[in-house]
Amino acid sequence: MIISGIESGIGMAKAFPEMNKVSSTPPADGAGKFFSELVSKVNDIQVKSDKAVQGLASGENKNLHEVMIEVEKASISFQFMSQVRNKALDAYQEVMRMQV
């Protein structure tokens, strides 16, 4: 059985190059470092989005479409992180329900 990564199915790597810096597999240190990297990258995208909105409000940036793209990237990356968290919690709960 071949399991392909998420990037091959929906093109996440092409849509969000910022997220490529997060390794696709948990490092040897554990899942904690993986999730902290993921949260850090999502935070960076959120900050970039906030700066774009502030630039538009102050008149520095006149390209509304670029600001909207940044805002949507931030929204989608947060939703992605939330879904990864939900799946990890579901997997943890499933393991805890197993009888030894």
**Looking at the predicted structure, is the pLDDT value of residue 28 above 70?**
no
Instruction: Answer whether residue 20 is part of any domain.
Output: no
Query: What percentage of the chain's residues is helix, strand, coil (to nearest 5)?
Result: 75, 0, 25
**Number of domains comprising the chain:** 1
Q: Residue 20 is encoded by which pair of tokens?
A: 């490529």
Instruction: Answer whether residue 42 is part of any domain.
Output: yes
Contact 16, 76 (CB under 8 A): yes
Instruction: Answer whether residue 91 is part of any domain.
Output: yes
Segments forming the whole domain that contains residue 55 = 30-97
Mention every residue, 6+ apart, whose C-beta is less than 8 A from residue 20: 13
Instruction: Answer whether residue 19 is part of any domain.
Output: no
Instruction: Answer whether residue 7 is part of any domain.
Output: no
Instruction: Answer whether residue 3 is part of any domain.
Output: no
Instruction: Answer whether residue 6 is part of any domain.
Output: no
Q: Residue 67 is encoded by which pair of tokens?
A: 């600001």
Residue range 41-97, pLDDT digits in tens: 999 999 999 999 999 999 887 889 999 999 999 999 999 999 999 999 999 999 999
For residue 16, give the 3-state DSSP assignment: coil
Instruction: Answer whether residue 13 is part of any domain.
Output: no
* Residues counted in the chain: 100
Give pLDDT, residue 32.
86
